[in-house]
Amino acid sequence: MGSTGVRIAIDAMGGDFAPQEIVAGALRAKEELDVSILLVGNPQQIEAVMPSKTNLKGVEIVPAEEVIAMDEEPLNAVRRKRKASINVAMDLVKNKQADAVFSAGHSGAAMASALLRLGRLRGIDRPAIGTVFPTIIAGKPVMILDVGANVDCRPKFLEQFAVMGSIYSQYVLGTESPKVGLLNIGEEDTKGNDLALRAHELLRENAQINFAGNAEGRDVLSGDFDVIVCDGFVGNVLLKFAESLGSVILQILREELPQGIRGQIGTALLKPNLKRIKQRMDHAEHGGALLLGVGGICFIGHGSSQAPSIFSAIRMAKEAVDNQVLARLQSQSNILQNESS
């Protein structure tokens, strides 16, 4: 393979629309983002969905004999199916043959494979899944973590999430001094359960972050915070709600626009605005969620991801590599390790 730029290993067999949509998004990324792609999976199935005139420069198909199904128990499946596409893709990162990995397949399997093959960073007790949401302020996203890796958390985990999220926000999203919030039921320091109260104290005392206090549910999309931390149970509920919000609002707008000729004229006039609204609210624009705290750049996509989401996820993975997120996380996690020793 004539390698150019960043190398992304892609689990071509993972996801509801694999391999066709995965391959389509990956090939677009290869053309537009100066990345080399390593498509991992069944070669015959991958080649069957490639356009006949595909430019194969910067493309490599890496054979993988097995696939982990969505209904399999992740840890057992990862250990049993050593040649599964997610394992082979993760090994490419482990062996420095790829700079990052992406999968829209079984998210639990992706996490288990990352932990077994890439390991945890020193000073990080639990990796977290972080995802980027749009806010009401254009061009000012907010990063939420954890959104599903850890259903139950300790206060120390939330502190570590805040440090990792701040690094990503600063170096990839371009926020100079990210404001960190703790998702809670009230803005007062005394609000919340035992986890929130103890986490609040740790966050307030951590000099590595710019802690701005508690964030209520109404603050999540306000733009007042750059990073918001919570346990994976709450974060996953929040993620699924946010993913539905854009489509609900757009559906309401369609239903409320006038019918007939007036509606056609109005829709034509509003079309550019509606397109911008969709772009700001569509989770496909952000593509995937980053698994922070493991020894490699690992993005996890939604199972229903199609080509635009795949493209966006690869773009985010490239940005993480270009901005040396892993090295920065390793540096800060070593500080956490030293503090806890």
Instruction: At 66, give phi and psi (nearest 5°).
Output: -130, 165
pLDDT, tens digit (0-9, with 9 covering 90-100), for 56-65: 889 999 999 9
> What pLDDT is attached to residue 267?
63
Q: Quick one: what percent of the chain has pLDDT higher than 90?
A: 68
| CB contact set of 338 (below 8 Å; sequence gap of 6+) | 123
In terms of DSSP bridges, do strands 227-229 and 179-183 run parallel, antiparallel, or are they unpaired?
parallel
Q: Quick one: what percent of the chain has pLDDT higher than 70?
A: 87
> Looking at the predicted structure, is the pLDDT value of residue 337 above 70?
no
- Name the CA radius of gyration of the chain, rounded: 21
**Rounded Cα–Cα distance for residues 286 and 309 (Å):** 7
pTM: 0.86
> Looking at the predicted structure, is the pLDDT value of residue 2 above 50?
no
> What pLDDT is attached to residue 88?
97
Q: What is the CATH number of domain 1-124+293-323?
A: 3.40.718.10
**Rounded Cα–Cα distance for residues 129 and 151 (Å):** 11
pLDDT band of residue 243 (cuts 50, 70, 90) is confident
| CB contact set of 90 (below 8 Å; sequence gap of 6+) | 9, 101, 113, 114, 117, 118, 296, 298
pLDDT, tens digit (0-9, with 9 covering 90-100), for 180-211: 999 999 999 999 999 999 999 999 999 999 99
Q: Please indicate whether residue 263 or residue 164 has the higher confidence score (pLDDT).
A: 164
pLDDT, tens digit (0-9, with 9 covering 90-100), for 36-90: 999 999 999 999 999 888 888 899 999 999 999 999 999 999 999 999 999 999 9
CATH 3.40.718.10 positions along the chain are 1-124+293-323, 130-285
CATH superfamily of 130-285: Isopropylmalate Dehydrogenase (3.40.718.10)
